[in-house]
Amino acid sequence: MRIICCRFGKKFTQWHVDNLKHMIDEYSGLKYDSFEVIEDDLYGNWFNKFQMYEKFRDGENLYFDLDVIIYNKLPNLIREKFTLLDDTWWREPAHTPLNSSVVSWTGDVSYIWDKFKKYDEFFIDTYTRGSDEWYYKNIKYETYDRVCPSIKDYLYYKPLSYSMCTLGQMHHLQEKGWTGWYSNYFLKSDKQ
């Protein structure tokens, strides 16, 4: 199995990559063969994530955003078909019911990259709210059962029925000076 994450631009640092690996190694129970980081900044935004479909065309693949919190043994997240989070159960209806903080596939799904790349400028101009809307409107996908809630509902207590949660637009909680139940699972450093 291959674990994948992306770091580009200035929003996230090497600490965020190291922190994700730390949480996976310490808490998730996952056994993996490689930990891959995509750092090529082709678009200056979230569409850089699509490079993983071109780069990783074989085996089992599991992608995590850098702003997830893993704090317990994860359920089996590996999927044969292209699978993302369904976030309709933890947020108000939005432009998409999907969340790509966790994504899995087995084998070759480079058709996703090919479809995006062919009209990348058009798609970037059209889907200004993120790649999740692009997935929703342009490709066939599966969704996970309820495996990853948003921290927005769990700022003051750990969600015991789950093993991870997404920070969504609250990645500032990973910065120095912010503390809560979640910070106990972060890699300790000058950043924290």
Write down the domain spans for the chain.
Answer: 2-185
Q: What is the C-alpha radius of gyration for the chain, rounded to an integer number of angstroms?
A: 16
- What is residue 93's predicted lDDT score, i.e. its pLDDT? 63
Fold of 2-185: Spore Coat Polysaccharide Biosynthesis Protein SpsA; Chain A (3.90.550)
pLDDT band at 83 (very low <50, low <70, confident <90, very high): very high
- What is residue 130's predicted lDDT score, i.e. its pLDDT? 87
Q: What is the pLDDT of residues 144-182, one digit of tens each?
A: 999 999 998 899 999 999 999 999 888 889 988 899 999
Could you tell me which residue, 92 or 15, shows the higher pLDDT?
15
**How much of the chain exceeds pLDDT 70, in percent?**
96
Q: What is the pLDDT of residues 100-132, one digit of tens each?
A: 999 999 999 999 999 999 999 999 999 998 899
- What is residue 94's predicted lDDT score, i.e. its pLDDT? 72
Integer CA distances (angstroms), 139 to 21, 44, 83, 134, in order = 29, 22, 11, 8
Structural contact between residues 166 and 151, judged by C-beta atoms closer than 8 angstroms: yes
Could you tell me which residue, 60 or 11, shows the higher pLDDT?
60
Provide the whole-model pTM.
0.95
Question: Would you call 136 helix, strand, or coil by DSSP?
Answer: helix
- CA 66, 104, 166, 142 dihedral sign is positive
